[in-house]
Chain A
Amino acid sequence: MELAYGHPKSLKPIQTKYCPGCGHGVIHRIICEVIDELGLQEKSIITNPVGCSIWADLYFDIDSVQPAHGRTPAAATGVKRVRPDHLVICYQGDGDLAAIGTAEIVHAANRGEKFTTIFVNNAIYGMTGGQMAPTTLVGQKATTAPYGRDPEGAGMGYPIHVLEMLATLEGTRYLARGSVNNAANVRKTKQYIKKAFEAQMSGVGFTMVEILSQCPTNWSMDPQESVEWLEKNMIPFYQLGEVKNTLEASK
């Protein structure tokens, strides 16, 4: 009997605070698998901010820096400039990255900062109990959009395709969108993360992996329903794949 799939070393073997079925758990694990495969556990730093991401430093067995809400790319900029030989992971949710932190992510991307951003997109604000996010879909209900997101009538605007927006900036080199709804997509997403991390360690920036994730609690669904909802609604809207890949050109 040989071990086929086991607990990554750089992930602490403790139960997480995340809700049953939450995508963060899968994302944490695949990041740690890549850290292990690249042998970078003692050479990695994660910046994790407000949002459910705030708990990440309890589970990643690596150094961490906790910035203010939205400022994660700014803090990661500071960290990576000072520790250029380390793997720096800027781990954000949709409020942190696409609402309060829009300036920070745009400018870090524009400067071609050499850290990798992991953008957990679950189309809702998790930690604070289900408010509308910049990535909430049209018609999707949230506590601050109780009748559903109404872009024009109620002036709530449309959901944002962050990667496509950032792709227009020359400083961005690798932008990929994955998902953790099924095993095949989890494998693909891990490959995107590995590509991004390897690019970072070879001195290339800006790299980012957006990951569509389910939030059963704030979508008011059980985990299996939430994964189905993601497949039916989020994947058609936020298309999966490498949105931008100019890594070959950087070589």
Chain B
Amino acid sequence: MAIKGKPEIDRERCKGCMLCVRACPTKVLEADAAPNSWGYYPARAAAPDKCIACGNCYLVCPDVAVTVYKL
């Protein structure tokens, strides 16, 4: 049974650096079209069902903007 996960992005902590998008092996994440209150375009879980809870997004995020859950 493959591990399934769920990333939760804190839109206001995220600065839109997109390093998580680069790091994600299953292309769960992308830039959100709607900016946050700082003017950044935060990451968004566009394909959450592809998440395998590897934690790469969390590991490379400089702002602890993403929390990862194992389902």
Interface size on B, residues (CB 8 A): 31
Q: Tell me whether A128 is interfacial, beta carbon within 8 Å.
A: no
Distance in angstroms between the alpha carbons of A22 and B61 in the assembled complex = 9
* A182 neighbours in B (Cβ, 8 Å): 23, 56, 60
Q: Tell me whether B50 is interfacial, beta carbon within 8 Å.
A: no
Q: Does B12 contact A5, Cβ atoms closer than 8 Å?
A: no
Distance in angstroms between the alpha carbons of A227 and B62 in the assembled complex = 12
- Chain B's nearest CB lies how many Å from the CB of A126? 13
Count A-B contacts at CB 8 Å: 87
* A227 neighbours in B (Cβ, 8 Å): 19, 22
Q: Tell me whether B34 is interfacial, beta carbon within 8 Å.
A: no
- Chain A's nearest CB lies how many Å from the CB of B9? 13
- Chain B's nearest CB lies how many Å from the CB of A125? 19
Distance in angstroms between the alpha carbons of A15 and B10 in the assembled complex = 10
Which 10 A/B pairs are nearest by Cβ-Cβ distance?
A: A25-B62, A21-B17, A20-B15, A5-B58, A183-B56, A223-B17, A20-B17, A5-B68, A183-B59, A186-B59
Q: Which residues of B contact A (CB under 8 A)?
A: 5-6, 12-13, 15-19, 21-23, 38, 40, 53-56, 58-64, 66-71
